[in-house]
Structures are given as structure tokens and as C-alpha cells.
């Protein structure tokens, strides 16, 4: 089963918790045991599993990537000014695969699934969720 999640982003760089939406896709699939693959469509976006306890970790991720990959110094910036966004998305990666165990996401207590926006805001971002199992 495959379903597309559609998001609107509000900032140039942000992590958006999509755990509940992914869990809803898994529940709808009725797969008891298997995998869910979560894939961000777009060369300036990514998917990350990260701590969900408070927003400080997500802000730390964004701040770290800003320090590692600053804006305005890349060759691609001459085309459309988002060279850093491409590099950040490539470093984090476009997807995560999560086990489905007894019909639920196999995440630990402190893990959530995040969509990573590096070139927003965008009126539409698409995330493919593919559930395989049983």
C-alpha cells in the first residue's frame, strides 16, 4: 500500500513531526508486521528519525546544519540561491524505513519521524509512505 502525505511548510528550515500521519497510514494498511518506507519527494527536503521529547533537539539539528553548511557560498547558489538546501537534504537523506510491529510503528519511546524542510516555505511538500508486510 502506498499513500501520499501532503504538507505545507512555514519556514525556510524546519523539522515537522509527521509521526501521527505515518502511523495513520500504517493503521489504514492493516499490515500487522512489516515495514513502512517514508520518502520525501524533492531535492531540498529529507526525512529523519529523531528525539521527540522537546523542540530543542530539532532546533539543534537545524542549527548544526546551518553551521556545517552555510548559505550563500556554493556554486549552485548562482542558479537559484539554495545550494545549502541541496547539500543539507543530501546529508540527512530522503527516506527512513521503520519496522511495523503488531500493526504499530516500531519506534522507541523517544523517537518520532520528522520531515526536514531546507528550502521553504512551500505550499506543498509530498511524502510517499509505502507499507509492505504480512
Would you tell me the crossing angle of helices 83-92 and 55-68 to the nearest 10 degrees? 120
Domain containing residue 59: 2-133
Domain CATH code at residue 23: 2.60.120.460
Q: How would you classify the pairing of strands 14-17 and 111-117?
A: antiparallel
The total of structural domains in the chain comes to 1
Instruction: Provide the residue-wise pLDDT of the chain in tens; the chain has 134 residues.
Output: 999 999 999 999 999 999 999 999 999 999 999 999 999 999 999 999 999 888 899 999 999 999 999 999 999 999 999 999 999 999 999 999 999 999 999 999 999 999 999 999 999 999 999 999 98
Amino acid at each position: 500500500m502506498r499513500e501520499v502525505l501532503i504538507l505545507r511548510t512555514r519556514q525556510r528550515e524546519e523539522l515537522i513531526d509527521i509521526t501521527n500521519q505515518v502511523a495513520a497510514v500504517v493503521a489504514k494498511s492493516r499490515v500487522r508486521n512489516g515495514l513502512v518506507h517514508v520518502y520525501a519527494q524533492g531535492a531540498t527536503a529529507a526525512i529523519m528519525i529523531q528525539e521527540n521529547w522537546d523542540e530543542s533537539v530539532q532546533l539543534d539539528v537545524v542549527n548544526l546544519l546551518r553551521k556545517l553548511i552555510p548559505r550563500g557560498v556554493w556554486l549552485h547558489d548562482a542558479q537559484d540561491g539554495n545550494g545549502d538546501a541541496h547539500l543539507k537534504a543530501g546529508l540527512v537523506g530522503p527516506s527512513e524505513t521503520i519496522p511495523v510491529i503488531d500493526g504499530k510503528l516500531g519506534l522507541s519511546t523517544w523517537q518520532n519521524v520528522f520531515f526536514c524542510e531546507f528550502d521553504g516555505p512551500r505550499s506543498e511538500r509530498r511524502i510517499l509512505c509505502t507499507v509492505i508486510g504480512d
